[in-house]
Structure 1
Amino acid sequence: MLPSAFQAARALATTRVLDAPDLPETLGVLHRDPVANAFVATRVESVGLDPWRLGGEMWGWYDENGSLESLCYAGANLVLVNAGPEAVRAFAERARRQGRRCSSIVGPAGPTAALWALLERSWGPAREVRAHQPLMAATTPAVSVTPDPLVRRVRKNEVEAVMPACVAMFTEEVGVSPLAGDGGLLYQARVAELVGAGRSFARFTADGQVVFKAEIGAVTQGACQVQGVWVAPEHRGQGLSVTGMAAVLDLALREVAPVVSLYVNDYNLRARAAYRRVGFHEVGAFMSVLF
């Protein structure tokens, strides 16, 4: 049911676009849950709240006492942070009025499901809805798995070598090629950025082919988030994802952050089992709406 004009006006009155003076309060909200908020927090910690540098707007929701309690990152993704029912309704109204500009909605499963229920009529249909994606975390290295000694950081001169694996992973995971649209310029720049930052890891064959790879896509003061885990199809079933992730986990804990997280599709039972063997355990759930 569409909100009344009064309800819509009230919802908008509790939200506004945040800017530089709001940074301390914004970080305070983000740091309440470093694992769940890693994606948004890494952007804000790096560049602040300037929309041009952030790649989108940060919306804030204020409670009746005037305290900033919830956030919504509105960029290429729409991401809720610490959003209760009232905040979800307010953000939905702002998003509905603005119109869809994002390629996906991603965030904690409960609030994201509520947000999508309010937006589906005007924003739908979605290309795909992934309603339950376990959020997993680890704070200690793998104890029952020996890390793959051949997994290492991808070197800056190996961007072209790792790119086909990145494209294959993205296409397999998302269902569309990252090379569509702009010819892959933005995606290739992102891959190069992660390689340059030392956050891309892979195992190469003697002839330079990638058989396992993963990246650390988000890094904050309290946690980091692994993404893009992939094993070449012809090498699957050999346990490379287990030993490879054990190596990435060990490197990440020693050199990046005290907590390592990731989220995975609930139907990917093999991946979930592999992550559990390495030492990851479920700490929540995400939901993704793909357009």
Structure 2
Amino acid sequence: MIKLNVTNEFSRLKAVVLGSAKSNGPTPKLEEAYDPKSARHIQQGTYPVEAAMVVEMEAVAAVFEKHGVTVYRPNVIEDYNQIFSRDIAFVVEDKFIVANILEDRSREIDALTHVISQINPDDIIEFPENAHIEGGDVMPHGAYIFVGTYRGDDYPDYITARTNMNAVRHLQSLFPHKKVKSFNLRKSNTIPEDNALHLDCCFQPIGKGKCIIHREGFLEEAEYQWLVDYFGKENCFHIDKTEMYHMNSNIFSISEEVIISEKNFTRLNTWLRSQGFIVEEVPYFEISKQEGLLRCSTMPLFREPVIEEKHT
């Protein structure tokens, strides 16, 4: 059986699902794009090719191997995008939660039957049909679960709005002992620089009590300010709109000390090292063209339990 335990974004990782870029399929038609960044690259003829993305994902797999992490990969579905494993399911505490994902991507979970079959069925949770949720919006953080959402009445008009308030409320009912705190995110179907597709596209906690944050990703100033106050301004690395577009907040922590980051994130990586982190740099620029990066393509299954969560 596979043991599950995820209570934060950064304690020592022992097991993870890493997506796959193999048999990724042809470049989508413009009307098939799920987000404005992919649409832009389709229009410009710069959409990433499979061979380049496979190389990038294998570089991440090599880092996991170096650090002794058990890695599960999805079964390959021919001509199907299976890169972003975080979207389709996620773990909170010892529960494996199946996301309510866009209908066009519903086959992705089927490619993980070899993983799911090793999980206690009592620990697998499916959300109600009207509770939309994706893993990129959900961040366990000790006593809290941070959740990105969109509260506007025009929610149905945004293909970029992936987690609704029904899901936030359902998450609270599943974890009554946690404080589920939601954040209203800025959405755009057409301008990627103005679109926080998921919470991890504009914010992420990392080890040592630090976080990466993009102010304009939050629609409500008070919610952004709550995070700054919570972590402490000196512990917040602020990224600008261009850095958000390139997904600087979508890195991935193997432990409190070790972070996988894109090799072109010069300003971020320099700061991380100045704060005492070990930075494992990988190429991930091509995959980032689909408005997702390292956190999006990884689904942690087990992180070492911590005796006392920070900031609880």
TM-score by length of 2: 0.26
Larger strand percent = 1
Larger helix percent = 1
Q: Tell me which structure has the larger Cα radius of gyration.
A: 1
Higher relative contact order (CA 8 A, sep 6+): 2
TM-score by length of 1: 0.28
